[in-house]
Chain A
Amino acid sequence: MWNIGRMEWRLLMRQYSSYSFVLLWVVILSLLFFIAKNDADFAGYTNVTGTIANIILYLLPLFMLIAGSFAIAGEMENGQWRLLCTYPLSQAMYVAGKWLGQWLGQATLFTFSFGVSVAISSFAGIALPVKWVIALYSFSLFLIALFLMLGLSVGAFTSTRWQALTVSVGVWFLFIMIWPTLLIAVLNIVPYPLIAPLLQAATLFNPAEVLRVAFVVELGGSAIFGQAYDHLIHLWKKKFRLILTVYAIGYLCLLWSMATWKLTRRKQR
């Protein structure tokens, strides 16, 4: 596992294309921080904060899905995975190593970009509230972690990079773009009392939504979700970090075992 992880990390660090990610993040994040400048009271949750979170939500999951799925699908395609199958290495460790290496690498790239953007905006005289910056940063790291694992499981289920790309974009479109439309359309045909539990269950299924809600709650904007979620969010607030971490680990483990199961079956074939 450690070898796989180290190899993945080295690969990411040595690829020049990885550094184009840095450029992309720096540009986007700096622009977002400049937008935030006009928002005088943005320590709490405001529309601008929502917009910033949304742009990150559009971009990060897509790139992470692609990066994650390519990490496995690429090795499928060039036969490296078959070679690895001859080694005494369990598929679970393979996936875990991939995830660890990718996450460390992507997080390093993102951290670098984030640091540069914060420095740029500070030089430009934008005093960002520290709490807000930390909330945004941890929100992004959680997104990277979850969507990389999602990408890895996508990779496990596909056999070429082209397939992986298609499925990744599909998953991204489902979880980010079409999610509310889909849920509203589906929930309109179920009996009314079922709407609330189904909606909550479906939300748990979508890590992007959970993280977005967590981000809003962390910045004190929980009131915007209204009466229906008051008690839930009140409960959540008591052990906010613990519950969020448990959720993230649970979700990661679920995806991990799914990817492992699929890869083990493929190996046997």
Chain B
Amino acid sequence: MRRYADHWLLVLLLLLVFPLPARAEETVQARIDEAPEYGVVRLASGVYDEAIVLSKPLTLEGIGEVTIRSCRKSPVIAIYGRHVVLKNIRVVQCGDAPDMPAIYVTGHDHTIDGVRVLTNQQGVKLDHAHHTTIVHCAVQGEKNGNGIDLWESTQNVIHYTAIERVKDGIYMENSHNNVLSGNHIDNARYGIHVMFSNRIVLRKNISEKNIAGAMVMGTEQTTIEQNSFVQNKRNVHSQGLLLYDAAKTIVRKNRIAANRVGIYVEQARHNELTENDVSHNFIGMQWNESSNNRVSDNSFIGNVYDAQAIRSPDNTIVRNYWDAATKLDVTGKGVSAIPYRADPFFLALTVDVPEYQLFFQSPGMIVLQKLLRSPDEQVLTDDAPLMEQPTARKDRPSRSASLLYVMSAVMIAGSISGFIIGRKRP
């Protein structure tokens, strides 16, 4: 009997020294289920191979390098209900079920902060999600699904999120009153894609090297300001900003540069395009079947072809700065008396043979262009072009002239000594 008691003592001792590894084997899901409402579950560094469902108010936070990974036919993290906070986690979705998101969100008042998503399919899906904030996140895809996809989700905020290599960077459909700001999207199909969603705010986003910077379709009272849509020219249909069936939308202070078409507007009414900087695009601005829009105080600089309009009457196009315009101020009001006509001659020439674009602003081309002038009804006209660039940066660094003085002094001194040596009698 005594021998057995010895054994029991040993077992007890062992149990005390090496407790059963029950907690380590406990899944993240189990810990979430155990946690109280509004509790915080902190995950230690490591890779967690499982899919998680969060359906009550809770904070799930990674401490260090935390990766949650799943290749199943369900989202890696699914969020339901309200007040769920996801923080500092890396989420890897490696499954190949079509359109399967890495993070699925529905409900309201959730926060996704500092989450990096690596996905085979979709990044984050907001499905009937409201008042949700996505901030400081990153989504990297394999061009199979959208980065962040909103469906019937309203009043959400997406801030400072970097998205790359996805289908559409941020796609929203039937989702109103969302705010997208400070996001950076590149190498996607469309950077930002808005469909049938009203009162959207796009502010200070950078969308570059996509097929289209932002595609805004079927919207009212949307504000698009201070964004950068640059280098969207991979495709023959590439655009910086597309406005289709848009109304009462304000597009202001955006930088639209080096795209195939800077701004393309079709079937749009009562919109306002002001103070945009449209430069170095192949076509600065193209209009089709749009009316009653106002285009003013924009700068069109170095575009191969500034503007073109087809079947677009009754638009107000005044007081823009065209660097290609001949300007003459006779009243001293900063407005040129000579109307600016955007001649489509060069466009017509390069449509058939894009290689001819090499002749852009070639000295001989200018001669040819003056000789073969297009008829008036084919051209878009600004009756009062501005004399000076309205979008010029006010804080333009005042270049110091001292370097120039030094340069000119060196040039003059060098050449004068050349003169003297050359003229000296041998």
Interface residues of A (CB under 8 A from B): 9-10, 12-14, 38-41, 44-48, 50-51, 54, 57-58, 104-105, 108-109, 111-112, 114-116, 118-119, 122, 127-130, 133, 176-181, 183-184, 187, 192, 195-196, 199-200, 203, 208-209, 212-213, 221, 223-229
Identify which of residues 294-342 in chain B touch chain A, using a CB-to-CB cut-off of 8 Å: 301-304, 323-324, 327
Instruction: Please report the number of residue pairs spanning A and B whose Cβ atoms sit closer than 8 angstroms.
Output: 177
Please tell me which one of the listed residues A105, A127, A179, A221 contacts residue B422 in the complex, with CB atoms under 8 A apart: A105
**A177 — which chain B residues lie within 8 A by C-beta?**
363-364, 367
Chain A CB within 10 Å, residue with most, of B366, B416, B419: B419
Is the CB–CB distance between A181 and B364 below 8 Å?
Answer: yes
- In the complex, what residue of chain B is closest to A22 when comparing beta carbons? B415
Contact B356 A184 (CB under 8 A): yes
The one of B304, B396, B399 in contact with A224, judged by C-beta atoms closer than 8 angstroms, is: B304
B16 interface hit (Cβ, 8 Å):
no
In whole angstroms, what is the CA distance A10 to B78 when docked?
85
Residues of B within 8 A of A224 (CB): 280, 282, 302-304, 357, 360-361
- B358 contacts A118, C-beta separation under 8 Å: no
Assess the A176–B407 pair: CB atoms within 8 A.
no
Other than A183-B359, A224-B304, give 4 A-B pairs with Cβ distance below 8 A: A127-B401, A224-B360, A226-B350, A226-B354
**Shortest beta-carbon distance from A108 to chain B in Å:** 4
Are the CB atoms of A112 and B412 closer together than 8 Å?
A: yes
Q: Is B408 an interface residue (CB 8 A)?
A: yes
Q: Chain A contacts of B10 at CB under 8 A?
A: none
Residues of A within 8 A of B392 (CB): 40-41
Q: Could you tell me the dominant secondary structure of chain A's interface residues?
A: helix
B109 to chain A, nearest CB (A): 44
Contacts of B419 in A (CB 8 A): 13, 108, 112
Q: Cβ of A127 and Cβ of B398 under 8 Å apart? A: yes
**The one of A14, A115, A199, A229 that contacts B407, using a Cβ cutoff of 8 Å:** A115
Q: Can you list 12 A-B contacts (CB < 8 A)?
A: A10-B423, A41-B301, A41-B396, A105-B422, A115-B415, A180-B359, A180-B364, A180-B368, A181-B364, A183-B359, A200-B355, A227-B233
Name the B residues within 8 Å of A47 (CB-CB): 301-302, 323-324, 361
Complex contacts, B423 vs chain A, CB 8 Å: 10, 13-14
Distance in Å: Cβ of A233 to nearest Cβ of chain B: 10
- Residues of chain B lying within 8 A (CB to CB) of residue A226: 282, 304, 350, 354, 357
- Given A109-B415, A177-B367: A130 touches B302 (CB 8 Å cut-off): no
Contact B358 A203 (CB under 8 A): yes
Most central of B327, B363, B407, B418 by chain A CB within 10 Å: B363
A202 to chain B, nearest CB (A): 10
B358/A213 in contact, CB under 8 A: yes
Q: Is there an interface contact between B361 and A54, defined as CB atoms closer than 8 Å? A: yes
B contact residues around A41 at 8 Å (CB): 301, 389, 392-393, 396
Provide the bound-state CA to CA distance between A104 and B417, in Å: 13
- Asked if B302 contacts A45 (CB within 8 A), the reply is yes
Which of the residues B257, B389, B403, B422 comes within 8 Å of A10, measured between beta carbons?
B422
